A and B are shown apart, each in its own frame.
Chain A
Amino acid sequence: MEIEENNFQNAMNESIDRLNTAANLLERTVASLEQREAAMNGDMRKIVAAVEQGAEISQRELELERKLVAAEQQISELRAQESKATSVRKTLPASTAHLLAKGGITALESIEAGALDAALAGLSLEQRIAVKAQLMRAGALA
C-alpha cells in the first residue's frame, strides 16, 4: 500500500515537472513570436506619394544595371563555352577520343600542341595526321 502511494507520488511529481517544462517552453515561444512580429511590422512617420528627388534611387538603379550587364556577359560566355564543348563532343569520333584518352588528353577544350604530339607519339604518321585533322574539324585545334 505504502509502495503504491510512493509510486503514485513519484508519477505525479514527474508529470508536474514535465508540465512546468512545457509551460516554460511555451512562454519562450510566445516571447520569440512577439519579438518577430514586432520586427516585421512598423510605423512610418511620413510617406508622400511623390517620387523621391534624391540620388538613392538612381544609385540603386545604376547598381542593378551594372549587375544586369555583368550577368548577361556571364551568361553569353557560358553559352559560348557550352556550345563549343558540345560541338567537340558531337563531331569527334569515339576512336579518336579513345586514342587521345590513352595519351592522357581528356579535356578537349584546351589541347596544347606539345601535349598532343607527345600523346600521339606511338602512332604512325598517317594516323597522327588523321587525328589532327579530326581535331581541327571539331574546332579543338586552331
Chain B
Amino acid sequence: MRLEALAVALPEVAGHPNRIPFEGVLTLVDEPSNRPPSGARGHRVVLTRAAAMTALPSLLGMGVDYTPGWDGHDTRRKCGIITQAEVEGNRLEVSGYLFGKDFPEVEEQMRRSNAGTMGMSYELADAHVEDMNASIWKLTRATFTGAAILLRDKAAYRETSFKLAAKRCRTIGFAAKAAPGRTLTEQASTERPRRLDGRNTWQSEKGKEARWK
C-alpha cells in the first residue's frame, strides 16, 4: 500500500478543552466524483493523485467549516483545523481538531449522528482543468483552501467520511510507532513535544509509515 503524509507538529496540551480530535476521508484521488461539485459547471471532476500530492502542504493548517443544515460550506464558520493529511490508497485522509468549546453544537452533532452519515468536502482555489471540453474534468493542479463537514449525501464524493477520533491526539499514535528498536514505554517516557520553528513546523516522510524520528 502506498502512503504519503504530511503533518503539522502542534505541542501537546493534556486535556485541552477546545481541541477535539477528528479524522475523516476528505476525498478520493484518481476517481471521478459521484456528482458535479459546486463551481464545476455541471461537470464531474477527478482530482489526480499527482495534483493531490502537490497540493497536500496547502491543506495543513486550513480550517474546517460547516453550515447549520450540514449541507454545504460556510467558509466564515471555521470550527476546526486540519493538522495532518495523507493519501492512503486512493483516499485522502485528514485529521485535526474541532474547537469543541467554541462550537459545542458541532461536537454534539458528531456524537448524535449515526455512523457513516457525515462526510467531508474540499475547497479548492485556482484549480487547473486539463480539458474544459471533457465530460469529466481532470484537475491537474489546485490549492486546498479548506474543507467542510457535511452530510455525506450532500458531498460530491459519496465515499467521504468524518468522525471524532478515538484518541485524544493522533500525533501521539504516530510517535508511538516511529522509532524502531525501542519499546513503546521507553519511547513514551523520553518523547517530548517538538517546538514549532521554521525547520520542523511540518514534517514530511514520503512513502513511509513512520513519520517521527
Taking beta carbons and an 8 Å cutoff, which residues of A are in contact with B?
Answer: 39-53, 56-57, 60
Task: Quote the shortest CB–CB distance from A120 to chain B (angstroms).
Answer: 59
A48 to B144, CA, bound (A): 10
Q: At the interface, yes or no: B129 with Cβ under 8 Å from chain A?
A: yes
Taking beta carbons and an 8 Å cutoff, which residues of B are in contact with A?
Answer: 27, 33, 35-40, 42, 45, 71-73, 121-133, 139, 142, 148, 150, 154-157, 160
Q: Is the CB of A48 within 8 A of B148?
A: yes
By beta carbon, the residue of chain A nearest B145 is A46
CB-CB under 8 A from B35, the residues of chain A are 51, 57
Q: Can you spell out 26 A-B residue pairs with CB atoms less than 8 angstroms apart? A: A40-B131, A41-B129, A41-B131, A43-B126, A43-B128, A44-B40, A44-B126, A45-B39, A47-B38, A47-B39, A47-B124, A47-B127, A48-B39, A48-B73, A48-B123, A48-B148, A49-B37, A49-B45, A49-B123, A49-B157, A50-B71, A50-B72, A50-B154, A51-B35, A51-B154, A57-B35
By beta carbon, the residue of chain B nearest A53 is B72
CB-CB under 8 A from A39, the residues of chain B are 132
Q: Is the CB of B127 within 8 A of A48?
A: no
Given known contacts A53-B71, A56-B42, A60-B42, is B37 in contact with A47 (CB within 8 Å)? yes
Point out the residue from B38, B130, B160 that lies within 8 Å of A52, measured CB to CB.
B38
A114 to B122, CA, bound (A): 74
CB-CB under 8 A from A47, the residues of chain B are 37-40, 45, 123-124, 127, 139, 142
Given known contacts A48-B73, A49-B121, A50-B150, is B38 in contact with A40 (CB within 8 Å)? no
